[in-house]
């Protein structure tokens, strides 16, 4: 198994990429499945690439990965090969026709849902060879409040919570936010309304979640916008393409492009904490704290 010891991790921290620009680490998550989270991740990442950004999309839905299927990719290797030490991240990465780099996870492999803190560290440590020219790392987490979801969210700089206009989506999104804020000190969340009929509906959906969060939690939530319900999204999925590529002038595509512009204006972390080494440190700390709390 790919499990670096503490001295290796310390050396990695000491060998920070001096002179390399900081990167954005954005987790895209949701309280429940079926709200279009992975579609959001893939389209946002592709729209960022179209804006000239160098982006890697990490499929962190450990055990039920599907980004490669959604995009019609057939990767020969995946994250399980990295964890076993047989392949590097560079070797398992695949590039879409739009220039987005994908790191596929392993679907249906239970091992991927039970990684130890040091195994997670070994996985993320593999990024050290590819961070120099990287602008953003998008992490498409699983849905829900599993330890793995919590770990990746806590380790990221920004968290986008995808919600749709269903009671269960709102309730489960609140549960995810509550766990992250109450138990893990996360205080800021970006809320993205998905599959709405209008901008007003998207804003109202955000307000429903905000009203509950403000009543019970000490957090800051920002409205990131809305992705409209669009038949072109379904057509793109059938084509195994992202909608911003298959139907660039559609309503959904315009919304994703606007979303990419918004994320580009978020402040960058211009410090050692803005590099992947810090992502590793936070990921290890998150996994350790979760284990100790049991």
Q: Is residue 161 within 8 Å of 36, Cβ to Cβ? A: no
Max mean pLDDT among 71-85, 111-125, 193-207, 280-294 falls in 193-207
User: Using one digit for the tens of pLDDT, what is the confidence trace for 121-164?
Assistant: 666 666 665 655 788 999 999 999 988 888 889 888 899 999 99
- Phi and psi (nearest 5°) for 95? -115, 130
User: Using one digit for the tens of pLDDT, what is the confidence trace for 93-120?
Assistant: 999 999 999 999 876 566 555 666 666 6
pLDDT above 90 covers a percentage of the chain that reads 55
Rounded to the nearest integer, the mean pLDDT of the chain is 83
Domains parsed from the chain with CATH numbers: 24-288 (3.40.50.300)
Pick the range with the lowest mean pLDDT from 46-55, 159-168, 189-198, 279-288: 279-288
Q: How confident is the model at residue 283 (pLDDT cuts 50, 70, 90)?
A: low
User: Using one digit for the tens of pLDDT, what is the confidence trace for 201-234?
Assistant: 999 999 999 999 999 999 999 999 999 999 999 9
Q: pTM for the whole thing?
A: 0.85
- Position with higher pLDDT, 192 vs 270: 192
Contacts of 141 (CB under 8 A, 6+ apart): 27, 28, 29, 37, 60, 61, 148, 149, 152, 153
Strand 220-228 versus strand 188-196 pairing type: parallel
For the chain, give the number of residues. Answer: 294
Closest CA relative to residue 221, chosen from 268, 267, 180: 180
């Amino acid at each position: 198994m790919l499990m670096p010891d503490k001295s290796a991790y310390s050396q990695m921290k000491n060998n920070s990429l001096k002179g390399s620009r900081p990167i954005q680490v954005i987790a895209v998550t949701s309280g429940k499945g079926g709200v279009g989270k992975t579609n959001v991740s893939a389209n946002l990442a592709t729209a960022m690439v179209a804006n000239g950004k160098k982006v890697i999309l990490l499929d962190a839905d450990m055990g039920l990965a599907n980004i490669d299927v959604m995009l019609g990719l057939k990767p020969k290797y995946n994250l399980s090969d990295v964890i076993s030490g047989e392949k590097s991240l560079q070797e398992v990465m695949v590039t879409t026709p739009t220039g987005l780099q994908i790191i596929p996870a392993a679907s249906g492999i239970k091992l991927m849902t039970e990684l130890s803190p040091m195994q997670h560290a070994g996985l993320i440590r593999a990024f050290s060879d590819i961070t120099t020219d990287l602008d953003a790392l998008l992490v498409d987490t699983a849905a829900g409040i599993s330890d793995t979801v919590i770990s990746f969210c806590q380790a990221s700089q920004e968290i986008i919570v995808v919600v749709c206009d269903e009671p269960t989506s709102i309730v489960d999104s609140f549960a995810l936010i509550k766990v992250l804020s109450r138990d893990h000190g996360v205080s800021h969340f970006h809320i993205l309304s998905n599959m709405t009929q209008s901008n007003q509906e998207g804003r109202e959906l955000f307000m429903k979640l905000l009203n509950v969060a403000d009543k019970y939690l000490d957090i800051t939530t920002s409205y990131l916008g809305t992705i409209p319900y669009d038949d072109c999204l379904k057509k793109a999925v059938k084509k195994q393409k992202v909608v911003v590529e298959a139907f660039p002038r559609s309503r959904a595509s315009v919304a994703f492009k606007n979303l990419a512009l918004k994320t580009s204006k978020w402040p960058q972390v211009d410090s050692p904490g803005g590099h992947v080494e810090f992502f590793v440190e936070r990921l290890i700390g998150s996994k350790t704290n979760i284990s100790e709390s049991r």
